[in-house]
Amino acid sequence: MELNSIKPAAGAKHAKRRVGRGIGSGLGKTAGRGHKGQKSRAGGYHKVGFEGGQMPMQRRLPKRGFKSTTLKYNDEVTLGQLEQLGLPELDLGSLKAAGLVSEMAKVVKVVKTGVLTKAVKLTGIGATAGAKAAIEAAGGSVAE
């Protein structure tokens, strides 16, 4: 294959429809726009969500809820994931290196999901009350 022999796939390219080019073309006079009205005019259309002057849907519905911008810096790890990781000491850097939390995470908390049998020492990582009890029962410790 050479650069000068590259062609588009069959049927991929087709001639653009030429409108408003006389009666014989079949698309002369109004050029497929019909008669009068906003949609027939040049530059005449409406913005997204416009409903002809009726109160738009996004303004009729009540505002509800709130999305915290700080949540993207929080992350959580399960006891099961700590078990699989198998490291004796963990901090935020080691969790990021292992890919268990996102690189943006600043606050990490261990939650009680799964089982932990190995002793793990956590530094700079939070834990729920149940997770803390499970870690200490396995012989580990939590230093926040």
C-alpha closest to that of 112 among 80, 144, 136: 80
CB 94 within 8 A of CB 78: no
pLDDT at 24: 92
pLDDT at 143: 87
Question: 71-143 has which CATH code?
Answer: 3.100.10.10
pLDDT at 129: 95
Residue spans per domain, the chain: 16-45, 71-143
Each residue's pLDDT tens digit, 41-69: 999 888 999 998 999 999 999 999 999 89
Record the pTM. 0.56
Say which amino acid occupies 93: G
Residue 1 confidence class, pLDDT cut points 50, 70, 90: confident
